[in-house]
Amino acid sequence: MTAASIYSLTEGSHAKVEAAAWARFAAPGDASEFCASWLSILCSQVDRVTGAVVLLEAAEAGSFVPAATWPDASHSVVHLGLVAEATLKERRGIVHPAEGALATHVGYPIEVDGRLHGAVVLDIKPRPDPDVQRVLRQVHWGSAWLLDQFRRQAQHQERERSTRLAAANEVLATALQEDEAKACALAVANDLATRLGCERVALGFTRNESCHVAAISHTSSFDERSDFVRQLAEAMDEVLDLEQAMVHPPLQQDAIGGLAHAALSSARGDTGVLSVALADDRVPVGVLTLERTRDRPFGAADLALCEAIGLLLGPVLALKLRQDRPWWQRWLDAGRTGATALFGPRHPGLKLVAATLAAVVVLLAVVDAPYRVTAKVVIEGTVQRSIVAPFQGYVADSAVRAGDKVRQGQVLARLDDRDLRLERTRWASEAEQMQRRYRAAAAAQDRAAMTVAAAQEEQANAQLALVEERLARARLVAPFDGQVVAGDLSQMLGSPVEQGKVLFEIAPLDSYRVILNVDERDVGDVAPGQHGEIVLAGMPFDRLPFTVNQLTPISSAQDGRNLFRVEARLDAKASVRLRPGMEGVGKVEAGERRLAWIWTHSFVEWLQLALWRWMY
């Protein structure tokens, strides 16, 4: 055979190999086939390659395994490990001559958007540096196919993830439309049966470390003692025991198969069964079991979707189950949770707060403190004189009003006395006339006429004296030094007043008494001789001491409360700023009591009265 024929045969064989690699590269079956075909094409483009390997990230993060080797899978690439490790660590192109300078190892990282997916390492014959750089450039350009493949895989995974999340959110929206847990479970089972084309979907709730079937799709009621429901419960318990999702038939040959799931599938005619747990903060609250016909077994996509639904649905079902509990169980669980947090190893802040509250409660129960009865206070004068109208008349003049200070004998007001003066003139004339008659009768020695004239003169003098007295009382004067606490006639000049009507009230400025309006619930703690202090609204920074004098057994209703009048006297000299009518708050010292009693006795007494009112 000639050299030309040998060369032609070699070229033809090489072309067939390259064509087959391109065919696999255009339509790869999986990632390994894609990497193998890509590596074969790359090695055919680079001169004098003796071996190559593509390393990809394994399932365990941080580890890389060979995905493809060249020229075949049996070719040893152990000698390329050092260059591969350096390439993955430094994330850049590496050129490393082999021992003895018999080969050159070229490594190049495969990195997409800052994430390292793997590396490609070539074992080439020695050549000049420019040729080695050309090889690096060829690897760089050729790695774009791998980068594109990884990006498309990432986009595909992201689309699948978005689809799963959209479906899971729709199922979650269905669950949120129901208020009760069982109604929610039935709605979710019906939705999943329609959405995933299942023959049957069952949902069970955990109780006492086992699962009880709560809802079966398109079934309003079922017998929990039936064999089918029992098999469903056993399959759900198997998921809780193994703490992992179960698929029958298994997705992989070496996957763990569940006996309960196999029994359920066999009983239903070799159907496909998939079960996932529903958890709330890693605590299982239920199990979701789906069944399909044998010609539509469950796949990895169905498992991923159901696991996503389980993650979203678990907290919702847990919340609805907690809401459906009776009130006593909710209180019991709340107490159990609080006790766990209080006496458990964590929550130091809660323990500090609890210890502080316990110390406060102990102090309230054993420490005594002064007990003071609080009451509304009004200041009154010790003597309060009323100035009344001495007769029926009209107001002629007013000199003072409420709030003015007056001195003894000072004119407060004056009534119109013109009619009285006219009457005084009439009676004076009448008395003088009777006196002349008496003289005329005396001259005539008419004793009878003298007696009559003398009586009439005496009557006229009496009326004149009465008019003089009324004239003197027409001027209203202050009986002592004090302050006008009520009365203002300045707006009533010319107005008529009735006899006995109170026109002014005057109180002295140096003698006061304290009036306390004590609630009926506290009046039993107040007694004469007790001391206390008052603070008035007009004198908020002054505390005036007082002593209780008298308890008046008369009550009055004010603002829906029954109040008793208690009188007291000020112990200190009255302040010049003190005025009758001032109001404030007074506290009567009623001995010492427990702090807890002081702060709670009002509520306890009210509660006792309320219970007594409603007791039969």
Domains of the chain: 17-156 (3.30.450.40), 177-324 (3.30.450.40), 385-504 (no CATH), 511-614 (2.40.30.170)
Q: Is 146 helix (H, G, I), strand (E, B) or coil?
A: helix
**d(C-alpha 337, C-alpha 479), whole Å:** 78
**d(C-alpha 572, C-alpha 542), whole Å:** 12
Considering only residues 291 and 129, tell me which one the structure prediction assigns the higher pLDDT: 291
Query: How high does pLDDT run on average in the chain?
Result: 82
Q: Pick from 43-47, 94-98, 521-525 the range whose average pLDDT is largest.
A: 521-525
Give backbone dihedrals phi and psi of 101, rounded to 5 degrees, phi first. Answer: 60, 30
Token pair listed for 324: 């459906």
At residue 598 the predicted structure's pLDDT band, cuts being 50, 70 and 90, is confident
The conformation of residue 346, written as its DSSP 8-state character, comes to S
Report the relative pairing of strands 368-381 and 583-594 from DSSP bridges.
antiparallel
What mean pLDDT comes out for the span 505-515? 78
Q: Is 499 helix (H, G, I), strand (E, B) or coil?
A: coil
What mean pLDDT comes out for the span 240-262? 81
Confidence check: pLDDT of 568 > 70: yes
Query: Around Cβ 603, how many Cβ atoms within 10 Å?
Result: 9
Q: Exposure of 289 by Cβ count < 10 A (0-12 exposed, 13-18 middle, 19+ buried)?
A: buried
User: What are the DSSP E strand ranges found in 125-190?
Assistant: none
User: Quick one: pLDDT at residue 216?
Assistant: 92
Report pLDDT digits (tens) over 324-358. Answer: 888 888 888 888 888 888 788 888 888 888 889 88
Q: Exposure of 35 by Cβ count < 10 A (0-12 exposed, 13-18 middle, 19+ buried)?
A: buried
User: Quick one: pLDDT at residue 26?
Assistant: 61
Report the relative pairing of strands 210-216 and 94-97 from DSSP bridges.
unpaired
Q: What share of the chain is helix, strand, coil (3-state, %, to 5)?
A: 45, 30, 25
* 320, 321, 324, 326 alpha-carbon torsion, rounded to 10°: -140
Query: Around Cβ 611, how many Cβ atoms within 10 Å?
Result: 9
Peptide bond into 370 cis (omega under 30): no
Residue 206: its H or E element: strand 200-207
Nearest one of 586, 590, 594, 541 to 567, comparing CA atoms: 586
**352 CB-side CA count, 13 A:** 3
**d(C-alpha 86, C-alpha 102), whole Å:** 20
Q: Could you give the maximum distance between any two Cα atoms of the chain, in Å? A: 207
At residue 257 the predicted structure's pLDDT band, cuts being 50, 70 and 90, is low
Question: For 561-595, what is the HEC assignment?
Answer: EEEEEEEEEECCCCCCCCCCCCEEEEEEEEEEEEH
For residues 106 and 88, the answer to whether their CB atoms sit within 8 Å is no
Q: Return the axis-axis angle of helices 181-195 and 129-176, rounded to nearest 10°.
A: 130
Report pLDDT digits (tens) over 465-500. Answer: 887 777 777 777 777 777 777 777 777 777 787 787
What mean pLDDT comes out for the span 209-226? 88
At residue 4 the predicted structure's pLDDT band, cuts being 50, 70 and 90, is very low
For residues 203 and 313, the answer to whether their CB atoms sit within 8 Å is no
Considering only residues 231 and 460, tell me which one the structure prediction assigns the higher pLDDT: 231
Nearest one of 169, 151, 145 to 112, comparing CA atoms: 151
Q: Exposure of 396 by Cβ count < 10 A (0-12 exposed, 13-18 middle, 19+ buried)?
A: middle
Confidence check: pLDDT of 290 > 90: yes
User: What are the DSSP E strand ranges found in 43-184?
Assistant: 49-57, 64-70, 94-97, 104-112, 115-124
User: Quick one: pLDDT at residue 548?
Assistant: 92
Report pLDDT digits (tens) over 116-154. Answer: 888 888 888 888 888 888 888 888 888 888 788 788 887
Sign of CA dihedral 229, 235, 236, 240: positive
Confidence check: pLDDT of 252 > 50: yes
Considering only residues 573 and 11, tell me which one the structure prediction assigns the higher pLDDT: 573
**d(C-alpha 288, C-alpha 275), whole Å:** 5
User: Quick one: pLDDT at residue 375?
Assistant: 92
User: Quick one: pLDDT at residue 468?
Assistant: 77
Considering only residues 498 and 296, tell me which one the structure prediction assigns the higher pLDDT: 296
- Contacts for 507 with CB less than 8 Å, ≥ 6 apart: 380, 381, 382, 383, 384, 385, 482, 483, 485, 580
Report pLDDT digits (tens) over 398-411. Answer: 777 777 777 887 77
Alpha-carbon Rg for the chain in angstroms:
56
At residue 203 the predicted structure's pLDDT band, cuts being 50, 70 and 90, is very high
